Structures are given as structure tokens and as C-alpha cells.
């Protein structure tokens, strides 16, 4: 029995020592607070953001109540932002705002939080690829707008308020355009009540955006299909009064058959449903188009120009 216990103890000790062999233990020397903070700032100035983040975290862990602790937490937000870690940056900003609501630089924390979400919404994909960002999920744009709005409303005299206001204009236009896209999608899916509500939301909350006439047109088309002719006429009057040269193409194309859905409307004569009293169509929709041949339909019209030249 003693031998068994001795073997168990020996085996436990051996396992403990073996685990310590494979551990990557990184020992940090006992660096004074001011020196550690200066090293972190130097790394930040040299754009060594990984090193700066590590040192700011170490500074906060070793000197949580030191004289550089609060500033280190704020600099950590900036380091995360520059290191393309948006989630960490926003979490660090929220933590700083929660712990230091009366800090002299609290406006900077709100600005960094909004800027992080702003850059997250406009990523490299939308910059270099032909993608309509107004059709993408507006979650980051909403977060950015809320942070900038808080900054402007609470600290109007902040040095960051003018830039925040300019970014809010862009974000408001982007969010309004997204609402219009959603409204048009609802019309295509015959959810006309939801489409009208989307258009009305833009009119009530985003009146100075370029998406206002589009929102009015969505409301007109939705009201028309709902049989609300009075509402459609009133909205049409508002659109004609404020945007007399506006042109709009109806979204709803009518019900599709199973064959049309399976062939992606290649062999169907798509008919547009007219908008009640109305909104003027684009010139391209007013001009009758010649009938397409079966070959032209199958080839998506790629060889149409060649056929016309041969006929000439």
C-alpha cells in the first residue's frame, strides 16, 4: 500500500514538472510606472501597436490606481483602433466611459468609439469593390451614429464635435438609403404595409436626406397596392410639389409563375404595374421595346448589336 501511494505521489510530481517544461512563461521585470507608461507611448508613436497594447495592459494590471492608469485606459482604446481591433476598441471605450464618466477627456472616448464603428462600416471591401454599402447591414453605422450623437449633444463645445457632425450627415444619408432599399424589398415581397412604414420612417426622421423622394415613391406604390387611394394621392401631391422633376420606376412586377421563377424571367413578358396617378416613369420605360427573339433571350442579348448590324 505504501508503495502504491509513493508511486502516485511521484507520478503527480513528475507530471507537474513536465507541464512546467512546456509552459511559455514570460516574466516581466518590475518596471516603474512612469517608465512603463513612457515605453507604451513610445511604441504607440512608432506604430508598434501590439507592443503598445501589451504595455498598456501591463501598466493597468500592475498599477490599477496609479497616476497613469486612467490615461493608459484611454490610450488603449486608441491602440486597439489603430491595430484594427474594432470590437476590443469599442469594449475598451465602453469600459472607460463607465468607469470615468466625469473625466476631462470623456468626449475623446465617445469620439473614438464612434470612429471605430464608422471605420468598421466602411471597410476595405466597400472601398475597392463595386458594392453598394447602403444595402449592407447598418449595425456598425447605427452604433457610430449613436456615439457621435451622444458626443455632439453632451459636449457641443468639444474639439471633436465638428468632425462628428460631418460624419453624422454621411451616416444619416446611408441609413436613409438603407430604409428605402428595405422598403423596395418589401414591395417585391408584397409586404406593402411594411414598405409604407419604412418610407414613412424616412419622411418623419430623415427629412434632409437625398432618400426622401425615393421614400415618398415607395409610400405611393405601397398605398396604391393596399387600395388606399387617398393616401397615395396625398403622398403623390407632396412628391410633385417638392420634387417636380423626380422620376421613378415601380418596383412591383406582379405575381410570378413557377416557370418564370425557375427561368429567372427569361421567357416572361414582364409587365410593370403603374403607380396611381402618377409618378412619371423613366424615358426608357416609356419607349416600347421590340420583341426579342428566342436566340436573343437565351444569350441574354449579348449578340443583339451584331444582329442589328447584319440587318443594316
Is residue 181 helix, strand or coil?
Answer: helix
Give the largest Cα separation in the chain, rounded.
107
Report angle CA 107, 140, 202 to the nearest 5 degrees: 100
Q: Measured between alpha carbons, how far is 152 from 233 in angstroms, rounded to an integer?
A: 39
pLDDT along the chain (312 residues), means of 10: 57 56 49 87 92 91 87 93 92 94 93 91 55 66 92 94 94 92 90 93 90 93 92 92 87 64 52 36 36 52 49 44
Q: If 0-12 CB within 10 Å is exposed, 13-18 middle and 19+ buried, where does residue 54 land? A: middle
**Which residue carries 429567372 as its cell?**
264
- Cβ-based neighbours of 21, under 8 Å, separated by 6 or more: none
User: What are the grid coordinates assigned to 166, written together?
Assistant: 460631418
Q: What is the pLDDT of residue 207?
A: 85
Are residues 140 and 120 in contact, defined by beta-carbon separation less than 8 angstroms?
Answer: yes
Report angle CA 80, 132, 187 to the nearest 5 degrees: 125
pTM above 0.75, yes or no: no
In terms of residues, how long is the chain? 312
Q: What is the pLDDT of residue 271?
A: 40
Is residue 117 helix, strand or coil?
Answer: helix
**Closest alpha carbon to 208 in 167, 170, 234:** 170
Amino acid at each position: 500500500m505504501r508503495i502504491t501511494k509513493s508511486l502516485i505521489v511521484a507520478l503527480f510530481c513528475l507530471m507537474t514538472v513536465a507541464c512546467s517544461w512546456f509552459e511559455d512563461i514570460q516574466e516581466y521585470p518590475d518596471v516603474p510606472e512612469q517608465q512603463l507608461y513612457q515605453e507604451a507611448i513610445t511604441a504607440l508613436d512608432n506604430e508598434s501597436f501590439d507592443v503598445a497594447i501589451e504595455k498598456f495592459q501591463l501598466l493597468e494590471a500592475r498599477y490599477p490606481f496609479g497616476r497613469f492608469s486612467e490615461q493608459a485606459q484611454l490610450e488603449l482604446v486608441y491602440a486597439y483602433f489603430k491595430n484594427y481591433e474594432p470590437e476590443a476598441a469599442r469594449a475598451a471605450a465602453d469600459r472607460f466611459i463607465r468607469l470615468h464618466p466625469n473625466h476631462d477627456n470623456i468626449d475623446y472616448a465617445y469620439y473614438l468609439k464612434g470612429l471605430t464603428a464608422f471605420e468598421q462600416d466602411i471597410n476595405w471591401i466597400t472601398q475597392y469593390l463595386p458594392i453598394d454599402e447602403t444595402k449592407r447591414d447598418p449595425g456598425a453605422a447605427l452604433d457610430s451614429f449613436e456615439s457621435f450623437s451622444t458626443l455632439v449633444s453632451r459636449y457641443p463645445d468639444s474639439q471633436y464635435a465638428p468632425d462628428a457632425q460631418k460624419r453624422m450627415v454621411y451616416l444619416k444619408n446611408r441609413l436613409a438609403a438603407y430604409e428605402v432599399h428595405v422598403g423596395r424589398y418589401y414591395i417585391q415581397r408584397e409586404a406593402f404595409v411594411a414598405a409604407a412604414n419604412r418610407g414613412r420612417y424616412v419622411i418623419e426622421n430623415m427629412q434632409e436626406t437625398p432618400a426622401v423622394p425615393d421614400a415618398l415613391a415607395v409610400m405611393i406604390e405601397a398605398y396604391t397596392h393596399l387600395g388606399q387611394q387617398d393616401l397615395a394621392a396625398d403622398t403623390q401631391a407632396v412628391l410633385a410639389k417638392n420634387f417636380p422633376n423626380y422620376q421613378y420606376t415601380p418596383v412591383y412586377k406582379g405575381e410570378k409563375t413557377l416557370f418564370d421563377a425557375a427561368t429567372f424571367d427569361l421567357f416572361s413578358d414582364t409587365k410593370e404595374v403603374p403607380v396611381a396617378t402618377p409618378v412619371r416613369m423613366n424615358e426608357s420605360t416609356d419607349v416600347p421595346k421590340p420583341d426579342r427573339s428566342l436566340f436573343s433571350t437565351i444569350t441574354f442579348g449579348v449578340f443583339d448589336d451584331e444582329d442589328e448590324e447584319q440587318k443594316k
